[in-house]
Chains A and B, each alone.
Chain A
Amino acid sequence: MIHSESRLLVLGIGNAQRGDDAVGIEVARRIAASPPPHTAVRIVFAEASAIMESWRGAQGVVAIDALQSGAPPGTIRRIDAVAESVPADFGGTSTHAFGLGQAVELARALGELPPRLVLFGIEGADFGHGAPLSPPVAGAVREAAARVRRELAEWAAARAAKP
Chain B
Amino acid sequence: MHEFSLLKDLLRKIDRVRAEQQAGKVVSVTVRLGALAHISASHFREHFDEAVRGTPLSGARLEVIESKDESDPRAQEILLESVEVEDA
Contacts and interface: CB of A to CB of B under 8 A. Distances in A.
A–B in direct contact per CB < 8 Å: yes
Interface of A: 128-130
The 4 closest A-B pairs by CB, nearest first: A130-B73, A128-B77, A129-B73, A128-B74
Interface of chain B, main secondary structure: loop
Interface in B59-88: 73-74, 77
A128 B73 CA distance: 10
Contacts of B77: 128
Nearest to B13: A125
4 contacts: A128-B74, A128-B77, A129-B73, A130-B73
Contacts of B73: 129-130
Interface string B46-68: 00000000000000000000000
Nearest to A73: B16
Contacts of A128: 74, 77
Contacts of A129: 73
Contacts of A130: 73
A129 B77 CA distance: 10
A128 B79 CA distance: 10
A143 B49 CA distance: 41
B16 to A, nearest CB: 9
Interface in B4-57: none
A129 B79 CA distance: 13
B84 to A, nearest CB: 22
Nearest to A70: B12
B8 to A, nearest CB: 11
A130 B77 CA distance: 12
Nearest to B73: A130
A124 to B, nearest CB: 13
A71 B73 CA distance: 28
Nearest to B12: A70
A162 B54 CA distance: 63
Contacts of B74: 128
A130 B74 CA distance: 10
A128 B74 CA distance: 9
A7 to B, nearest CB: 43
